[in-house]
Amino acid sequence: MMTGDDRRLRRGLDTGEIVEALMFRVTADSLAAYLDFDPERKPDLVKLDKLMAETAPGLKRYFHKGTPAGEAGMRMKMIGYGKFRYAIKSGKTIEWPVIGVALQKNYISVYVSVTKTGAPLTPAYEGKLGELRMGGNNFSFVRFGDLRSAALASLFAEAGSIFRSDPENPIRFMQGL
Which residue type sits at 1? M
Render pLDDT for 30-42 as a digit per residue (tens, 0 to 9).
999 999 999 999 9
pLDDT for 18 beyond 60: no
pLDDT for 172 beyond 90: no
What was the pLDDT predicted at 7?
42
What was the pLDDT predicted at 15?
47
Render pLDDT for 92-106 as a digit per residue (tens, 0 to 9).
888 889 999 999 999
Please tell me the pTM assigned to this model: 0.84
CB neighbourhood size of 108 (10 A): 23
